[in-house]
Amino acid sequence: MPRRLLQLLLIASTLWFSWLAMMIVHESGHVLGAVCSGGTVRRVVWHPAVISRTDVQPNPHPLVEVWAGPLVGSTAPLMIALMSSAFRLRTAYLMWTVAGFCLLANGAYIGIGSIDPIGDASELLAHGMPRWPMAAFGIVGVTGGMWIWHRVSPRFGFGASPMPIDARHAYGMFAVAALATVVGFAIGDRGV
């Protein structure tokens, strides 16, 4: 396969997998927050064709449950990336790319939501959360995600010293993204 097609395959597959992974880790945070704060999870929606969500009722501590989504959704992928680097995996840069995406997505979601409330941001504000911690979370998340992406960009063929695209990584990432998509369609709940 030509280099440009391998590069495109690696980038597209990694971004698509990052999106799916970000949604499931974010919703796992909501579930963890709900369970730890005495809430009852009624439904988790994770499907490739819709935006994910977690329904909790009763929810005695909604601030804990809602904040747990973006917090776990940002830190869990970072922990996985750190472990992959500690074990010196050749695919560690892919884990860092997913972690960067999760930081960017969660940071933008909550940060922009401090100005234009939707979803979790709307819930946080409705339960008394000041806007400034949400904006600060957004700035840290987006900045951290962009910094990580800058650091891994040579592995995707960008920058002053681009590295060759590893065909095994491009095909492997495509397989992982395809498998995650199939699993999402097979077991994911499309919601209402």
The mean per-residue pLDDT over the stretch 10-20 comes to 98
110 domain-assigned: yes
Q: How many Å apart are CA 43 and CA 191, to the nearest integer?
A: 9
Whether residue 154 is predicted with pLDDT greater than 50 in this model: the reply is yes
Counting residues of the chain whose pLDDT is more than 90, the rounded percentage is 95
Burial profile 116-134: b = 16 or more Cβ within 10 angstroms, e = fewer = ebeebbebbeeeebeeeeb
189 domain-assigned: no
Residue 188: what pLDDT? 83
56 domain-assigned: yes
State the pairing for strand pair 53-56/41-45. Answer: antiparallel
The 3-state DSSP class for residue 43 equals strand
190 domain-assigned: no
Residue 1: what pLDDT? 78
Domain containing 131 equals: 3-181
23 domain-assigned: yes
Amino acid in the structure at residue 104: L
Q: How many Å apart are CA 188 and CA 74, to the nearest integer?
A: 22
| Number of separate domains in the chain | 1
The mean per-residue pLDDT over the stretch 73-99 comes to 98
Residue 192: what pLDDT? 46
191 domain-assigned: no
